[in-house]
Amino acid sequence: MSNQIGRKVEAAIAFESSRGVGIAPKYALGKVDFSLYDKTVDVRNDNGVGRIEDSLEKFVVEKYAQGSIGGVLGANSALYLLGLAFGGTPTVGAAADSTYPWTLTMSNTAQHVSGSLVTKDVNQTLIHKLLMLEQLEISVDVEDAVRYDAEFVSKVGRVSGQTIPTYVDDKAFTKRKTKIYLATNVAGLAAAARQSIKEFKLTIKKNLTRDSGIGTAEPEDIFNQSFSIEGEMKLNYTDQTVKNLMMNGTYNALRVKFESENLIGSSTYGDVILDFSKVDFFSWEPDAPNDELVTNTINFKANYDLTNGLLNAATIHNALSAA
């Protein structure tokens, strides 16, 4: 056994064709943080036997894995993270300029697409089957790259002979080419002006539940339940526009666009475009420090729209021909 630093821990992912059936990893994820490890549900025999001590023995009744992976987001990694988030298996179109167009869909089921995650360090290689996304947070501010933090739940890691694929340029996103748009409705997003945002956060929650049964020590399945998308925007406080979004109960369509710093082909960049049909605003909060610019922050929530759905459109352009 060897000592190691966190940079030696590797993770690679793939979508499963059949839930819980492990598959060879197809994409190596760059990461900054990693905490996906095995966990147990324990019960104790607390029978009294004429003594004051509170426990006779412990039993492990369930085993699973849970934890997070975080890092800089790019056009390639976004395909897997957002695919697991929205739950429909992504579909790919014909390439142009070495760039592949992907379409993401929101799955209206309790069994979203699952993944397999292979993790490797200097001591072992494990495969986590039935990998389900619990929460995905995407954040960006004026001094950083676009970052993700993804929380997963899966079956316990099992020793594997799988190997980590070769790393490729993820086509990373930064604040420089991140654009946020608001419009009265989805039809107005194409002509909408870019918002001057200082900080932005998007959080997708899926409220997973481990479906356990009597007679087994592992969950039989991992289901997603109620689905929500919320976020936060911070802007300079120059007028009452942001406050009035909350006070007037205004709905807007919201477009979030990330574009890569590096080219894929000769003239095409990687990107992610997410269009939310019906967003409301709440929890407006100004901040007025004496010696700094006054800012205001507002939260938003994506609603299901009867005409256009919650997610009106979700596309990715990247260098991957398959996933």
Confidence tier at 2 by pLDDT (50, 70, 90): confident
Proportion of the chain above pLDDT 70, given as a percent: 100
Bridge partners for 253 per DSSP: 183
Confidence tier at 173 by pLDDT (50, 70, 90): very high
Q: Quick one: DSSP state of residue 7?
A: G
Proportion of the chain above pLDDT 90, given as a percent: 98
* Beta-sheet strands, E only, within 165-251: 173-183, 199-205, 209-211, 221-223, 228-236
- Residue 315 half-sphere exposure toward CB, CA atoms < 13 A: 12
**Which of these, 57, 88, 6, lies nearest to 309 by C-alpha position?**
88
The two structure tokens encoding residue 195: 């918002």
Q: Are 201 and 172 in contact (CB under 8 A)?
A: no
Mean pLDDT of the 110-123 span: 96
Kindly report, residue by residue over 53-107, the tens digit of the pLDDT: 999 999 999 999 999 999 999 999 999 999 999 999 999 999 999 999 999 999 9
The two structure tokens encoding residue 279: 């967003």
**Residue 203 burial (CB < 10 Å; 0-12/13-18/19+)?**
middle
The confidence score (pLDDT) of residue 129 equals: 98
Kindly report, residue by residue over 221-245, the tens digit of the pLDDT: 999 999 999 999 999 999 999 999 9
Mean pLDDT of the 187-205 span: 97
